[in-house]
Amino acid sequence: MYGSLDIATSGLVAQRMRLTVISNNLANRETLLDAKGNYAPYRRQEVLLAPGDPSSGREMGVHIAGIEKDDGELLARYLPDSPFADAQGYVGYPNVDPVIEQMNGMEALRAYEANIAVVEATKSMISVALQMLA
């Protein structure tokens, strides 16, 4: 009876996680150091989604299979005075493109809204069925 409610909830959780990772990407756009203070430019991350729910064994719904690092090319900036500059004077900056992140964020928001619409539709379906009883 509550199948579609649970499925929509799993979609909501997944999309919120997507937005969390996108906000982490945007926040670390200029991050050059790792936690220990060594030069290790931040790599953009992406959420990997998979169908089903292993925690409850259900086949429907969606869950987060993992968070993948995007090992794409770093963005080179010409900063010859930087301590991290290479021989040509370039510093590798994180491969985070704010435009792409913004588009992904909008998509996650719309997908979240779509799942909310499913919840509302399920609720009104059950309410209409209850009207038949009363």
Q: DSSP states of 39-87 as a string?
A: B-----EEEEEEEEETTTTEEEEEEEEEEEE---PPEEEE-TTSTT--T
- Is residue 37 within the footprint of other proteins (CB under 8 A)? no
Query: Token digits for 3?
Result: 């199948």
Size of the site for other proteins (CB under 8 A): 15
Beta-carbon contacts of 86 under 8 Å, excluding residues fewer than 6 positions away, are: 92
Window contacting other proteins (CB under 8 A); options: 22-30, 41-49, 76-84, 119-127: 119-127
Residue (55 or 88) nearer to other proteins, CB: 55
Among 5, 49, 85, 111, binds other proteins (CB under 8 A): 5
Among 42, 103, 123, 128, binds other proteins (CB under 8 A): 123
Beta-carbon contacts of 69 under 8 Å, excluding residues fewer than 6 positions away, are: 43, 44, 45
3-state secondary structure of 92: strand
- Is residue 119 within the footprint of other proteins (CB under 8 A)? yes
Question: Which residues of this chain interact with other proteins, rule CB under 8 A?
Answer: 2, 5-6, 8-9, 12-13, 16, 119, 123, 126-127, 130, 133-134
